[in-house]
Structure 1
Amino acid sequence: MLPRPLEGLSYALLVPVLRALFGGTPADVWPWLTAFGAAVAAYAVLRYVSDLSGFRVGTTLLRGIYRRLGDHLAWLPLGWYGTSRVGEVSVLAGRGVMQAMSVIAHLLAPFVSACVTPLTIVVVMFAFDRRMGLATLAAAPVVAAIQIWTGRATAAADAERHERDKEAGGRVVEYLQAQPVLRAGGRTGECFRLLDDSLLEARRASRRTVLATLPGAVGLTLAGQAVFTGLLVLGAYLALGGDIGAAEVLTILVLAARCADPLLSLSDIGGQLRIANAELARLDTLLRTRPLPEPREPVRPEHHDLRFESVTFRHGDRTVLQDLSLSVPEGQTLAVVGPSGAGKSTLLQLLARFHDVDGGAVRVGGVDVRAISSEVLTERIAIVFQDVYLFDGTIEENVRLGRPGAGDAEVRAAARAARLDEVVERLPGGWAANVGEGGALLSGGERQRVSIARALLKDAPVVLLDEVTSALDPVNEAAVHQGIERLTAGRTVVMVAHRLRTVRRADRIAFLDGYRIVEEGGHDELLRRGGRYAGFWNADRDGVTQAAAGGLPAR
C-alpha cells in the first residue's frame, strides 16, 4: 500500500512543474523536476520491494497449500477416489492451486494499484479544482456497476468452464489408461471420440467465458473515454473563463489519461480474481471433506478372524450389499466369486475400511474396524490389487514400501518368495533398475510380482487378493501363483477371483449375487449341489476347453 500514495504525490508534483514551465521563469522548474524524479525513483524502488514481497508470500503460501493438500488427500479414505475424482483433483492440484495462489504473487499488487491509483488521482484533482474532481468521481458508480454486472455475467461461464476442464482432465487420464485396449484393437490411428468431444466442449466453454467478459471490457473503455471527453470540455470551459490555469487543466487531463490504464486492467484482473476465488472455494470444499472418523479409544484386535455381520452398503443411490453375513476363521482362506458388479471387490474394500458400512459391522479379530485406528488396521492387512501401481523409482524402493525398515536380507527373501529375483536378474541395473512412472517399464506380471514381494515383506496377518491373476500370461501366472501360495500360508485370506480354477484350494467359497451370499461351502460340496457356483464352474471350464480347441490361450 505504501507505493500508492507516493505515486499520487508524483502526480501532484506535475502541477508546479507545468506552472514553472509555462511561467515567466522556466528555470524555476529544476527543483520541482528534481522532486518529481525523486518521487518516481522512490515509487519504483518501493514497487519492486512490494512486488517481490508479494511473490515471496505467494510462493510460501503455495508451498504450504500443496503440503496441506497432500496431507489431506493422504488421509481421505481410498473409497473417496472414484473415477470422477481423478480429473477433479488433477485440475485442482495443477492449475487450480496455481491460479488461486497467483492472486498474492501476481494479481494483488496490480489489483490494489488499479483501485488505489484512480482514487489517488481523484484526490489530487480535488486539491486543484473541486469541480474537476467531482466530474471525475461521477464515473465511480458507472465503473462499479460495470464490474458487478460483468462478474454476474461471467459466473455461470466460469463454472461451466471448470466442469468442462474437469471432464477433459478425466478423459485424458482415461485415454492414457485405455492405450493397451486401443492398440490391441488396431485403433492407434483413430481418435478417441469421448476425449475429442470433451476437449471440444472445454474449448467452447473457454470461448463463452471470453465472450462473457467482452462487454465489461468494452463498457469500461467507453466509460473511460466518456470521462476524459467530459473533463476536456469542462477544463476548456473553466480555462476560457479564467477560473483555472492552463497548467492545472493540462495536469488534470494527464491524470485522467493515467486513470484509463488501471481502470481497463480492472476487467482482466477482476476476471482472474473471480476464477481464483472459485478455485479457492473448490479447494476449501476439498479440504473440508472429512476423512473417516478415527476412534477416540482405539482397540487393538488380538486375533485375525474376519466377520461381516448383517452388512448393508450403498454407493450413492445404488445398493451394493444388503444384510450380508459372512465369516472367515483365522488362518483360513475364503474365495469370493460371482458375476461382475455383484460387489466382490467391495467386500475387500470394507475390510480395509476404504468405506464405512451403512448398516451392520465388519470385524477383524472380533473388533469393529471402526474401533481400530487406521494405522493399526493398515499394519494388519496386506492388499494385492489386480492393477498394480508402482512409483517411479527402483524395484527395491517399490518393494521396501511394504516395510521401509526391513533389512537387505529380508527384502531379498521376499523377492525370492515372489519369484521377483528372476525379473531382477534379467533387467539391466538389477535392483537399481528404474520401473518408470506407474511401473510402465515392467510387464503386468512383473508388476504383480513386485506387489506380492511387497506384501510378503509387510508380513501382515490378513491378506486381501483382488483378481490378481485375471490378465496374466501363463508364465507369469504360474510365478504369481507360487508367490501367492507363500504369501497366504498361515494367514487369514480373502480372495476375489474371476478364474474359478484359482479358488479350488480355498478352504471355503462364497458365491455373491443379488446383494448377498447365495451359496457357501467347499469346492466339491458346491459342485455336488449343482447350484449357481456349479453353473459358473461349468461355464468357465467350457470356456477353457473352447479356447484350447481353437488354439487360443485359456482364460
Structure 2
Amino acid sequence: MIRMLLGVLGDEYARAVRRTVALMTTTAVVEGLLYALLVPVLRALLADTPADAGPWLIAFGAAVAAYAALRYVSDLSGMRVGTTMLRGMYHRLGEHLARLPIGWYSAGRGGEVSVMAGRGLLQAMGVAAHLLSPFISALVTPLTIVAVMLAFDWRLGLAALIAAPVVAVIQAWTARSTAAADAERHERDKEATGRVIEFLQAQPVLRAGGRTGERFTLLDDSLREVQRASRRTVLATLPGAVGLTLTVQAIFTVLLALGAYLVLGGNIGAAEILTILVLAARCADPLLSLSDMSGKLRGARSELDRLDTVLRTEPLPEAAEPIQPVSHDLEFESVTFKHGDRTVFDNVSLSVPEGQRLAVVGPSGAGKSTLLQLLARFYDVDAGAVRVGGVDVRAIDTEVLMAQIAIVFQDVYLFVGTIEENVRLGRPDADDAEVRAAATAARLDEVIERLPGGWEADVGEGGAMLSGGERQRVSIARALLKNAPVILLDEVTSALDPVNEAAVHEGIERLMAGRTVVMVAHRMRTVQRADRVVFLDGGRIVEEGSHDELLRRGGRYAEFWDISMTPAASE
C-alpha cells in the first residue's frame, strides 16, 4: 500500500512518508512495551507490601507520558503529510488532466473524474492522515505484546502467537471476497454521479419536452443500484468480520483456560497471569478493528489504482527540442485522422497564408470543428502533418502553440467568478486599461453597464447568469485581450438573436483584423468575409475557392448557399 502510494505521488514525498511510518511504528512498539510494566506493578500491589509499587507506578506514569508525546507527534506528522500529499495530488491530477488529449474525455469520464477528484482522492490521500496510524498500531502493538508474553511465559506467548496466521488468512480471504463487490460499488457510484450531472445539465431540455418524470426514473434507478451495490459490499465483508471476531474471542478463551491451568499447577504467579490476561485483552481491541480498517484501506487502494491508471495515461508527447514558429501561416499536409473507428479526414491538404481568412463549410459531421481542434493540437493526426508557421504542431511547445492561437467556440463556458476574471483568462498579466479596451472592442461594455455589479457581477456556474450573446461577448473580449496572431472561430453567431448577432459580428471583425483566421461557418452569410472557402464532406475537401468562384461553379457549395438563402433557412 505504501509502495503504491509513493509510486503514485512520486519521490518528493517518499522521505516524509517513510519518516512518518517509522515514527508510527516506534509509537506502536512503545505502546506494546508499556504494558510489560504492568507485571512489576501488579506483582508489587499483590505482594505483602503494596507500598513497594510506588516506584513502578511512577515509572509506568512516565512511560505513559512518553507514549502520549510520541502518539501526538506521530499523529501530527501523519496529518501534515496527508494534507501535503492531498494538495500535491490535486495539483498533479489537475495538470495531468489538462494535458490529456480531448478524445480521452468520453461520455462517461465526467462522472468518473468527479468521483475521483472528490471522494476518491480524499479517501486515497487520507490514508496517511487517518488510517496509517491505527492500522500500524493494530498490527505492531499486538505483535509487541505477544513478544512480551513470550518473554514472561513461552506457553502463553505461543498460544497467543497462533492467532497471527489465522488473522492473516481471514484478512486475505475477506479481501478476495470483497474485491468484486468493491469494483461494482465504484462503477455504480460513477454511473450515479454521471446521471446526477446529466440530470442537472439537461433541465431546460427536459422541462421543455415534459420528460422530467422519465429522467427522475433513470436517476432513481442508478441510485437504487448504488444502494444494492452497497448492500452487497456489506454482505461480502460480514463473514470476514464475524470470522475475525470469533477467532480473537477463541484465542482469548484459550489463553484464559491455559492461564488458569498454569496458576492452579503453581507454574506461574497470580500477578503474571493477571498481567498476561490484561495484555491479551489489550490485543483484542486492535485486532477486532482490523476488519473495518482493512475495508477502508482496500477502498483507498482501489482509488489509488484508478488514480494511477489516469496518471499513467499518456498525454500528447512534447518535443525534446521544440521549435519556435516565426510566421503565422497554417497548413494541412495529407492529413488522415480517425476518431474511434470513423475516419474524419482522409488525406486532406489545405493551406492558409498569413493574414488571410479561410471559411470551412460542410454538412453536419463533416469534421469542421475537428479541423480547428487539430490546428490547436487537441488531438494528434494519424498521418500527415498540421503546421503553424511552417512548423509541425507536434514540434512546438504546447504553451508556445497556445500563445499563438485564440479560439472562440460556439458554446462558451465561463468560470464561476466576475466578468473581469473571465476576460482576464485571455491574458492574466494585462493591465486594467487593456482589459477595458478589449471589453469595449467586443461591445461587452454595454453588458457591464446594465448589470447591477458591473465588472464585479458574478457570471454564475458556466456563465448561467448571462445570455448566450453576452457570454459570446465575454469570449470575444477574452480573445481580443490575448492578442494572438491566429484566430479559430467555431461559428459563434448561429444561435444568437439579431441584436446580439450584430454586436458579436462587430467584435469578431475587430478580432480578425490583420490575423490568420480559420472560421467554421454554419450561417452562410459569414462566408462572404473569407478570402477562401473549403467545402468538406466525407472526410475530404470537395470544393475549394473564393465565395464567388464556388457560386459560379454551381456545385455543392452553391447548393448550400441557395438553401441557406431561402426564407425558411434565413429566419
Distance in 2 (alpha carbons) for counterparts of 1:251 and 1:540: 93
Kept in 1: contact 2:528–2:547 (CA 8 A):
yes
Residue 522 (structure 1) aligns with: 546
Q: Offset of 1:58 from its aligned partner? A: 1.4
Distance in 2 (alpha carbons) for counterparts of 1:312 and 1:428: 50
Q: Is 2:313 the partner of 1:271?
A: no
Amino acid at match of 1:348: L
Cα distance change on mapping 1:537 and 1:161 into 2, 3 Å: farther
Q: Is 2:257 the partner of 1:238?
A: no
Name the SS for the 1:13 alignment partner: helix
Q: Offset of 1:207 from its aligned partner? A: 2.5
Residue 24 (structure 1) aligns with: 48
Residue 117 (structure 2) aligns with: 93
Residue 329 (structure 1) aligns with: 353
Q: Offset of 1:138 from its aligned partner? A: 0.9
Residue 110 (structure 1) aligns with: 134
Distance in 1 (alpha carbons) for counterparts of 2:61 and 2:429: 66
Q: Is 2:481 the partner of 1:469?
A: no
Distance in 2 (alpha carbons) for counterparts of 1:5 and 1:295: 52
Distance in 1 (alpha carbons) for counterparts of 2:218 and 2:514: 47
Structure 2 unaligned spans of 5+: 1-24
Instruction: Return structure 1 stretches of 4+ with deviation > 6 angstroms.
Output: none
Amino acid at match of 1:4: A
Q: Offset of 1:402 from its aligned partner? A: 1.7
Residue 496 (structure 1) aligns with: 520
Q: Offset of 1:469 from its aligned partner? A: 1.7
Residue 478 (structure 2) aligns with: 454
Residue 421 (structure 2) aligns with: 397
Tell me the alpha carbon deviations over residues 120-179 of structure 1, each in whole angstroms, 9 at most, x when there is no partner.
Answer: 111121122111111111111110001111111222222222233223333333223222
Amino acid at match of 1:238: L
Name the SS for the 1:301 alignment partner: coil
Residue 177 (structure 2) aligns with: 153
Kept in 2: contact 1:9–1:39 (CA 8 A):
no
Q: Offset of 1:293 from its aligned partner? A: 2.2
Residue 536 (structure 2) aligns with: 512
Q: Offset of 1:199 from its aligned partner? A: 2.9
Tell me the alpha carbon deviations over residues 393-445 of structure 1, each in whole angstroms, 9 at most, x when there is no partner.
Answer: 22222222222333333322222221111101111232222222322221111
Kept in 1: contact 2:406–2:486 (CA 8 A):
yes
Cα distance change on mapping 1:57 and 1:408 into 2, 3 Å: closer
Amino acid at match of 2:530: A
Kept in 1: contact 2:536–2:542 (CA 8 A):
yes
Distance in 1 (alpha carbons) for counterparts of 2:382 and 2:564: 34
Q: Is 2:101 the partner of 1:84?
A: no
Distance in 1 (alpha carbons) for counterparts of 2:290 and 2:398: 49
Residue 7 (structure 2) aligns with: none
Q: Offset of 1:187 from its aligned partner? A: 4.5
Distance in 2 (alpha carbons) for counterparts of 1:62 and 1:240: 57
Amino acid at match of 1:232: L
Q: Is 2:367 the partner of 1:343?
A: yes
Structure 1 unaligned spans of 5+: 549-553
Q: Offset of 1:77 from its aligned partner? A: 4.1
Distance in 1 (alpha carbons) for counterparts of 2:203 and 2:411: 15
| Of 299, 313, 329, the match for 1:305 | 329
- Map 1:74-473; keep pairs closer than 5 Å: 74-187=98-211, 191-473=215-497
Q: Offset of 1:8 from its aligned partner? A: 2.2
Cα distance change on mapping 1:534 and 1:199 into 2, 3 Å: farther
Distance in 1 (alpha carbons) for counterparts of 2:507 and 2:220: 42
Kept in 1: contact 2:199–2:215 (CA 8 A):
no
Distance in 2 (alpha carbons) for counterparts of 1:211 and 1:528: 74
Cα distance change on mapping 1:504 and 1:208 into 2, 3 Å: farther
Cα distance change on mapping 1:128 and 1:68 into 2, 3 Å: same
Cα distance change on mapping 1:301 and 1:23 into 2, 3 Å: closer
Distance in 2 (alpha carbons) for counterparts of 1:24 and 1:297: 86
Tell me the alpha carbon deviations over residues 269-321 of structure 1, each in whole angstroms, 9 at most, x when there is no partner.
Answer: 11211221222232233333333222233333333222211111122333222
Cα distance change on mapping 1:4 and 1:295 into 2, 3 Å: closer
Q: Please report the TM-score for the alignment, with normalisation by the length of structure 1.
A: 0.92
Q: Offset of 1:494 from its aligned partner? A: 1.3
Kept in 2: contact 1:301–1:365 (CA 8 A):
yes
After superposing the two structures, state which structure 1 stretch, 389-398 or 118-127, moved more.
389-398
Residue 75 (structure 2) aligns with: 51
Name the SS for the 2:146 alignment partner: helix
Residue 507 (structure 2) aligns with: 483
| Of 541, 545, 553, the match for 2:568 | 545
Tell me the alpha carbon deviations over residues 77-127 of structure 1, each in whole angstroms, 9 at most, x when there is no partner.
Answer: 445444433222222222222112211111111011000111111112112
Cα distance change on mapping 1:196 and 1:418 into 2, 3 Å: same
Cα distance change on mapping 1:311 and 1:251 into 2, 3 Å: same
Amino acid at match of 2:30: L
Name the SS for the 1:463 alignment partner: strand
After superposing the two structures, state which structure 1 stretch, 170-179 or 92-101, moved more.
170-179
Name the SS for the 1:2 alignment partner: helix
Name the SS for the 1:504 alignment partner: helix
Name the SS for the 1:383 alignment partner: strand
Kept in 1: contact 2:33–2:145 (CA 8 A):
no
Distance in 2 (alpha carbons) for counterparts of 1:437 and 1:515: 36
Q: Please report the TM-score for the alignment, with normalisation by the length of structure 2.
A: 0.90
Distance in 1 (alpha carbons) for counterparts of 2:56 and 2:488: 82
Residue 6 (structure 1) aligns with: 30
Q: Offset of 1:205 from its aligned partner? A: 2.5
Amino acid at match of 2:157: G
Name the SS for the 1:399 alignment partner: helix
Kept in 2: contact 1:308–1:362 (CA 8 A):
yes
Amino acid at match of 1:96: G
After superposing the two structures, state which structure 1 stretch, 194-203 or 351-360, moved more.
194-203
